[in-house]
Structure 1
Amino acid sequence: MFRAYELGRVSKEFRDIVARNMDILDAMISEERDGHFSYFALQTLRQTYLIRNGSELIERPQHIWLRSSLQMHQCDLEKVAASYEMMSTLKFMPGSPVLFNSGAVRPGISSCYLLPANEDPDEIFETLDKVARISRNGGGVGLGVQCVPSKGSKVKGIERTGVVPILKMLDAALDVIDQGSNKRPGAITVYMEPWHADILSFVRMKRNSGPEEERARKLFYGLMINDLFMRRVEEDEDWTLFCPSVAPQLVSSYGVTFEVEYEKLEKAERGTERIKARHLWTEIMESQMETGGPFILYKDSINRKSNQRHLGVITHSNLCTEIVQLSNQQETSVCNLASIVLPSFVSLERTFLFDELDRVVRHVVISLNQALVHSFFPLHSVRASAFNHRAIGIGIQGLADTFTLLGIAFDSPEAKQLNSDIAAAIYYSSVDESCELIKVHGAYPTFGNSPASKGWLQPNLWPGFAPSAKYDWDGLRKKAARGMCNSLLTAYMPTAGTSQLTGCSEGFEPLPCLISTRKVLNGLFTIIPKHFMATMEDLHLWSEDLRDQIVGANGSVQNIESIPSNVRAMFKTAWEIDPATVVEMAIDRAPYICQSQSLSLHLARPSIQTLTKLTFMGWKGGLKTGLYYLRSQPSIRPIPITLPVKYWKGVEKCANDLEEGSKEHPICLACE
C-alpha cells in the first residue's frame, strides 16, 4: 500500500512514521472514495500530484490525502485520521503545495510568499536569488518594486535605469525557475504604487503593442492604489509622479500620513512629472481590457483593516491578491492555505450544515498551524515571518455549486444572505479556534499591541458594520484580547487547481460556462459542471440535442425553453450575472475576511466606463482587492465542426456581439 515510501520517494523521517504505523494507516484508507473523483480529476491526479518512480505510478489517489495528513500531523494519528476523513470526503482542500510536496525531503507546503525588491541595483540579484529559491520550493511570489529608483534619477551619483530592466530580468528568469515539468510553472506578481515615476512604463509592460524591449509578459502586475489617487481620478485633478529616492516616506505610509507627505512634496516641486490622474487611470483600464491586468488593490483599506497594522505598512500583496501581510528585508511573508469545499455541507434536505462547517473549519485551523510547524522554509527570512506572525489563509470553493444544490440563483436575495452567513461562520469559528490554540502554541510573538489584543476583530475595523447577530462577538473579542495563535486567518483565494480535483466551481465565482473545453497540464478536456448535469438528468432533459443547443449558445441555457425558468435562473453563467452583484457580494463578505479575496470579474464587452464604475464601487465599499482578473471573451469563436448546422446561427450571433480585441486570460494555479 505504501510502496512509494519504501522506494525512498519521501524523507527518511516520513518513511519511519509510516513504517511504525503501517497497519493503522492501511486501515484508514477507503479506496471506494476514489468514486468521488471525475475522470478529469483522476487524470489530473495521475499527471500532476501522485508520486512516481520514473514513469511508473506508485501512489493511489486516496494516498495523497493520507500523505498530506501525515505531513501536517506527523505522529498524532487521531488528527491524521480526522484530516484524511475530511479531505477524502472533499470537506476541505489544502493548497496545492501540500499535495505536491508532503513527505518530501524538503516539504515546501506553503502557498504564498511576499517580499520587497532590493532598492540598490547592485543587490537586485539577491532578490532574484530569493525569488528562485521560493519558486522552486513550490510557492507563488508577490514582489514589491516601489522602492526601486525611477529611470533617469541619480542616486549616489549614479544614473539609474528604473524598473523596466529589472522586470525584464525577472521575466527571463521565469523560464528557469519553474516548479517541475509536471507541475505548475513559477509565477510572480510585481507591485507598484501609482505615484512612482515609472508607473506608465509599468502599466504597459504586459501590453501587446509597443517596443518589445519595454515588455515583460510572463510576469503579472499589481497596483497598490491609495485613496488620494482615487479621489483625484474622480475629481479629474492633476497627479504628480515621484522617484522613491526623494520620496521614501510615500512607500512607508498610508492614509492621512501619506496624503500630508505627498502634498508637501508636491508643493516643494520634488516631482518628476505632473499628469492628469484620469490619464493614468485610462492607461490602467486599457491595459485591463487588453491583458486582464494590472490587478488593483487599495493600500489604505488594506492597512486600516489589518491586524498587523501595529507592525508597519503593508506595501504589496501575493501572486493572486488575497494575501496582505507585512514584509520587509528581514521578513519574507508566508502563508499556508486551505479552502472549504462548500457543496459538501449541503444536506439531502437542501439545508446548509453550519454545525458541520464549524467542525471542519476548526480542524483546518489546527491543521494549518501544524503545517507551519512541519514545513520547510527556503529562507531564514521566511521562517522568521512564519513564526513571528503565524498567518494562515482559509478560503472557500464551490459557492456557485452550493447555491445550485440549494435551488437558489446566484443573484438572488437568498444567495446574497447565505454568502454573508457562510463568511461570518468561517471567520467566527477560525478566530475562536485560534484563541483555543494558545494552550498548545501560545499567542503568536507579535500579538502584543495588535488590534486583536485590544479586542478589535475584523468586523470592528469596518466603520458602521454590524456583524451577524447569530454569534457572540463581544465574547469572542474578550477571548481574542487574551491571546490568539494566528495574526491572520481568512483569505479567499482562487482554487483553479484543487477545484479540478473536487469538481466544484472555482472559489466564490459564478459558473463561467455550462459546457467548455479546458486545456491543462495533462491534456484537453470537455467540462460540464457536475451539478448541472445531475439536474438535467433528474429532469429527464439531458440529450445530445440539448448538448448541441448549449454549445450553440456558447454554454448558456437562458434561451432554451425546454428547461424550466427557475432552473435556468439557477444556471446563469458569469457572463449573464450583473457584475455589480458579484462586487456587492464581495463587499458583503469582506468584513469577515482578515486578509483579502481574489475578486475577478467577467465582462463580455468591457469598457472604461463599466470598469471604472465597478472598481470605484469596490473602493467605496471598502474592499481591499478591487480587481484580480478581468475576464473577457474572444471576439471570434470557431464553430465546432460536430455542431449541427441549425445551431450555427446562435454561435455566430454571440461571437459577433463581442467586442473586438478582447481575449480570454489564463487561470492562476498558485494560490489554492
Structure 2
Amino acid sequence: MPVEKVMKRDGRIVPFDKERIKWAIQRAMLEVGVRDEKLLNKVVRRVVRRVNELYDGQTPHIENIQDIVELELMRAGLFDVAKAYILYRKKKAEIREEKKKILNKDRLDEIDKRFSINALRVLASRYLIKNEKGEIVESPRELFERVAVLSVIPDLLYDERVFDKEGNHEQDLGRVEEYLRTIDEYDGKLSIGRFKLNKYHFERLLRLYRELAEKGQMKVPIDDVIKMLENGAFDHYEDEVEEYLRLMTGQVFMPNTPALINSGRPLGMLSACFVVPIEDDMESIMKAAHDVAMIQKMGGGTGINFSKLRPEGDFVGTTAGAASGPVSFMHLIDAVSDVIKQGGVRRGANMGILEVWHPDIEKFIHAKEKNVGTNVLSNFNISVGIWADFWEALREGKRYPLINPRTGERAKEIDPKSLFEELAFMAWAKADPGVVFFDVINKRNVLEPAKGEKIRATNPCGEEPLYDYESCNLASINLAKFVKYDENGEPYFDWDEYAYVIQKVAKYLDNAIDVNKFPLPEIDRNTKLTRRIGVGMMGLADALFKLGIAYNSKEGYDFMRKATEYLTFYAYKYSVEAAKKRGPFPLYEESKYKDGELPVEGFYHREIWNLPWDELAEEIKKFGVRNGMVTTCPPTGSVSMIADTSSGIEPIFALVYKKSVTVGEFYYVDPVFESELKKRGLYSDEILKKISDNYGSVQGLEEIPEEVQRVFVTSMDIHWLDHILAQANIQLWLTDSASKTINMPNDATVEDVKAAYLLAYKLGCKGITVYRDGSLSVQVYSVEGEKKQRVKAKPSDYAVEKLKAVVEAEPWLSKFINVEAILNGTNGKEKTESMGLTFSVPHVTAPKPQAHEHPHHTEPSDVPEEKIKELLGIAYCPVCYEQDGELVELKMESGCATCPRCGWSKCVIS
C-alpha cells in the first residue's frame, strides 16, 4: 500500500511528496556536476518503491525517508552524490540548530524555516519583541501576524454594513472614550476569524471609528461594531489577513522598517518619511527641534529645508545682534538627533536642504568638511536644492544672484561655474552633498494648486519629496519572486501576478494611513489631506540575474521601465477602486488630477506605453483617486535582507564575499549566482576565493563563461553612465522619486561628477547621489599595486548613444561634458592628479569605531597615525563590529551609508 503521509520534525503530518525527494537528490547531483535526468528519475522511483515496501501505508518520519535516499544513492553507485546529500543533510541540521539559537526556540515552525539565517539574524536584532532581559519573546510568524491584523482593521470599518461614504450619521462618541479607558480588558478578547486583536489593534480600531464617525460616515454605533466582531460578522476578513501574512512570510513584499517594528505595539507609528518646516524665527526653530525629536523617538526620519533662515552675520532686530545662519541650526537639530538613539543602534536620520540661491550656500556645501575626525552633522545627509535659473546662469555664463531670504534682496553675486565646481568636489571627496532638482520635482506636481506652493523638501534618502508636515509610508515588492520557469526550464516574468500584488500592497499602504499613530497632530492632518503612499520595488538585480538579462543593457532598461510602469499603473488602479468605495483624497478637487493630468513623466510619452494610460486618466477624472501619490523606490537595506533578495533598485555589491565568524571563515555567495555556478558545474571553494579576491566580481576571470560575466554584474562593474540611465528609466514612471547611488570608481574625477549631475538633470532624475569608491573611508596603501586592479567598467552601447544624444541636443553642455574623454577614461584625470588629493601612509589597523560618519577631507600632509585610525574607524558598521569583533566597511547604497552584512543604515526606512 503506498505511503501518503509523512511526519515532519515538528510533529506535523503532511502529504508525502516525491517532488521534494527529487529536488533534494537533484541538488546533490548538481553539487558534484552530475546532470542526468534519466538517472535522477530512476533513483527517485527506487526511493519511492523502497519507502512503500518498508512502511506499507503507514506514516514514516522525514529522517527515515532521508536515510532511504542515502542508501539508494549508494546502491546506484552514486557515492559522490550520496556524500553531497549527507553533507547537505548535516548542513541543514546545523542551520536548524543555528536558527533555534537565534530565535530562542526549541522547535522551528514552517515560517521560521522559510527565512535564511541572515534574514532571521536581522529580524532578531531589530524587529522581534524582546523582554526586559533582552530575550526574544516573539516569533517571525507572530511579528507578521500583528502587522497583517493591523493592516486589515480599516476593512472592517469601511464595510458597507457600517460605513457610508456620503456621511450623514450621528453617533455617541462618549462610548468610544469609555472603550478607550478600559482597553486593557479587551486585550486578545476580539478576533477576525482565527486572528486575535491585541489591545493596540483595538485602540487603532476605536480611534479610526471615532475619526470616521466625526465625519458622519459611521452608520452604526461602536457597540454594534464590537458586537459584530464578537459574533463573527467580520470573520470573512480572515482571508485578507491570511493573504497579507502569506505575501510577507513568502518574502513577496515587506513594509518599511517602522511598520514592522511598531504595528500592533505601543508606539504604533508606521511611516518612515517626514518633512518638518522651519521659519526664520526662534519659536519656529525650536518647534522644529521638538518635532524632529517626536518623530525620531518613534523611528521616523525627517527632511528640513533651511532656506528660509537668514544668512550668517545678518541683522537680528530683537537683539541688534548678528544671525548665526542655517548651518548653525543644523548643528542644533543634529544634537537633538544624537540624543535620540532609535533602537539603540539606529541614529536619527535627517535630510538637510539649502537652496542654491541662499547666501550661505558655500558654507553649507562645506558643512561636513571641517573638524577632521569628529562627528560633524553625523545624523544628516545634505543636499543642495537647485532650480532652473541656476542651470540657466551656468549655460549663459552669467553671474548668479544670492538672495537674502529675510529681505528678498540680492546679498551678492557669484560665478555659478565656481559654485558648481565646489559642489562637485565635495561630492567627489565625501559623497555629500547630493543634489535635488526642484524644477524637475515640481514639473508634474499635480498637488501644487491644492497646496498653493511648490515642494521644497524630501525625506532623508531623497526618494520622497514631501510638503510640510506630510509623511509617507512605504513598502517594497520583491521582483525576484515573479520570475517563474516554463516546462522547458526557461525563465519568464509573471506580469499578471505582479499586477495583483501591486494592488494588494497599495491597499496595505492606504489602510496603514488610517491606523497609523502619527507623532504630531499636524502630521496626522496633512498626511490625510493627500493620503500619499509609496509602493516600491526591491530584488531588481536578482530578478535580472534569474531572467538572464544584464542590468546595464538596453534589455535591462526596458525591463526596469516596464516594471515601474506596472508599479504605478496598478497602484493607481487600486487607488481608483478605493476612491469609489471610500472617497478620494480630500484635496483631490483642488488638484490637477481632475483635469486629466498625472504626476508621471512617462504618461506624456505615449510611444513608450505598455498599458492603457488614457483609460486610467479618464477613470481618475470620473471617480477620483484615493492617494495623491502612489509610487517611490526607497532604500531597502535590512528589509531586503529579511526578504533574502537584492537591495532596492541597486545592482548587487558583490557576488561573493568572505565572512569571518567565531568558528572560522566562509564565503557568502549571492543565492541566484550560486545556483548558476552549480548548474554549470563551476561551483568550488577555489572559484569562490578567486571571485572574492576579484572584489566580488567575475569580470576578467577566464574560468567564468562570457555570458555569465555579461549578466552577473556588480555595482562597480557598471559604468556610472549606466547607473544614471537605470535611475532615469525608473524615474520615468514613478509619481515620486528613486533612491539610488551613482557608483564611480576610486579614480573618477570631479569632472565626472559634474558631467553626472548635468546628465541626471537632463535625463529627468529628481536628484542624484554620487559615490566615489573609497570616499567613505581614507584610502590607505602599504605598497602601491598590492591589491589586484579592478577590471574597469565600460559604458554600455546604449549609454554611449544616450550620452551623445543629450550633448548633441544642447551643445552648451559640451563645456562641462567631454564625451570623448568620458568614453576613453581620461576625463579630468590630469586636473585631479595635479591637485594632489590622495596621500600614502604606512599600513595601520583600524580601531574599534567611535561613530558612523563620513570622514572629512584632509589636505596632503604628514597625518599622525592616531588621526588615520580615527578616520578609518568611522567608515565601519557599528552593529557588526559589536557582534563579531570584526570590522565591516560600510558601502553607499540607495544614497545612504549601509552595512552589506546586517543592513544597518543611516536611513530609517530600510
TM-score bucket of the superposed structures, by smaller chain: 0.7 to 0.9
1:629 deviates by: 4.8
Query: What is aligned with 1:95?
Result: 256
Query: What is aligned with 1:532?
Result: 673
Q: Does 1:618 align with 2:760?
A: yes
Query: How far, CA to CA, are the matches of 2:576 and 2:247 in structure 1?
Result: 22
Correspondence list, 1:227-626, <5 A? 227-247=388-408, 270-310=409-449, 311=451, 312-327=453-468, 332-349=469-486, 350-459=491-600, 461=601, 465-466=605-606, 468-481=608-621, 482-516=623-657, 527-604=668-745, 605-625=747-767
Structure 1 residues 416 and 211, CA gap change in structure 2 (3 angstroms)? closer
Query: How far, CA to CA, are the matches of 1:566 and 1:585 in structure 2?
Result: 21
1:192-213 per-residue CA deviation (whole Å, 9 max, x = no partner) reads 1011011111111112567989
Amino acid at match of 1:530: P
Match of 2:326 among 152, 163, 185: 163
Q: Considering only CA atoms, is the larger Rg found in Structure 1 or Structure 2?
A: 2
Amino acid at match of 1:292: A
1:568-588 per-residue CA deviation (whole Å, 9 max, x = no partner) reads 111121112122122123222
Correspondence list, 1:156-235, <5 A? 156=317, 158=320, 159-181=322-344, 184-207=346-369, 215-235=376-396
Query: How far, CA to CA, are the matches of 2:781 and 2:484 in structure 1?
Result: 41
Query: How far, CA to CA, are the matches of 1:408 and 1:654 in structure 2?
Result: 23
Q: Does 1:36 align with 2:114?
A: yes
Query: What is aligned with 2:787?
Result: 651
Query: How far, CA to CA, are the matches of 2:282 and 2:660 in structure 1?
Result: 39
Report if the CA contact (8 A) 1:495-1:669 is conserved. Answer: no
Tell me, what secondary structure is at the counterpart of 1:41? helix
Query: How far, CA to CA, are the matches of 1:555 and 1:112 in structure 2?
Result: 33
Farther off after superposition, 152-161 or 119-128: 152-161
Query: How far, CA to CA, are the matches of 2:715 and 2:744 in structure 1?
Result: 8
Q: Does 1:69 align with 2:69?
A: no
Query: How far, CA to CA, are the matches of 1:655 and 1:149 in structure 2?
Result: 49
Using structure 2 for the length normalisation, give the TM-score: 0.63
1:655 deviates by: 11
Report if the CA contact (8 A) 1:144-1:315 is conserved. Answer: yes
Query: How far, CA to CA, are the matches of 1:189 and 1:431 in structure 2?
Result: 28
1:218 deviates by: 3.2
Query: How far, CA to CA, are the matches of 2:687 and 2:372 in structure 1?
Result: 45
Query: How far, CA to CA, are the matches of 1:211 and 1:557 in structure 2?
Result: 36
Amino acid at match of 1:339: S
Match of 1:49 among 119, 127, 139: 127
Tell me, what secondary structure is at the counterpart of 2:635? coil
Farther off after superposition, 189-198 or 234-243: 234-243
Query: What is aligned with 2:799?
Result: none
Query: What is aligned with 1:59?
Result: 138
Structure 1 residues 337 and 525, CA gap change in structure 2 (3 angstroms)? farther
Farther off after superposition, 32-41 or 372-381: 32-41
Amino acid at match of 2:445: S
Structure 1 residues 653 and 430, CA gap change in structure 2 (3 angstroms)? closer
Query: How far, CA to CA, are the matches of 1:277 and 1:530 in structure 2?
Result: 48
Structure 1 residues 498 and 561, CA gap change in structure 2 (3 angstroms)? same
1:637 deviates by: 6.9
Structure 1 residues 98 and 342, CA gap change in structure 2 (3 angstroms)? same
Query: How far, CA to CA, are the matches of 1:317 and 1:527 in structure 2?
Result: 35
Cα RMSD of the aligned pairs, angstroms, is: 2.7
Farther off after superposition, 121-130 or 105-114: 121-130
Structure 1 residues 99 and 223, CA gap change in structure 2 (3 angstroms)? same
Q: Which has the higher contact order (CA 8 A, sep 6+)?
A: 1
Q: Alignment identity in percent? A: 25
Report if the CA contact (8 A) 2:698-2:709 is conserved. Answer: yes
Amino acid at match of 1:273: K
Using structure 1 for the length normalisation, give the TM-score: 0.85
Query: How far, CA to CA, are the matches of 1:611 and 1:518 in structure 2?
Result: 33
Tell me, what secondary structure is at the counterpart of 2:753? helix
Farther off after superposition, 120-129 or 318-327: 120-129
Farther off after superposition, 105-114 or 338-347: 105-114
Query: How far, CA to CA, are the matches of 2:671 and 2:545 in structure 1?
Result: 11
Query: How far, CA to CA, are the matches of 1:454 and 1:373 in structure 2?
Result: 28
1:237 deviates by: 2.8
1:581-608 per-residue CA deviation (whole Å, 9 max, x = no partner) reads 2212322232311111112111113312
1:611 deviates by: 1.2
1:107-139 per-residue CA deviation (whole Å, 9 max, x = no partner) reads 011110012223203442111000000001111
Report if the CA contact (8 A) 1:408-1:415 is conserved. Answer: yes
Amino acid at match of 1:219: F
Report if the CA contact (8 A) 1:65-1:87 is conserved. Answer: yes
Query: How far, CA to CA, are the matches of 2:666 and 2:516 in structure 1?
Result: 34
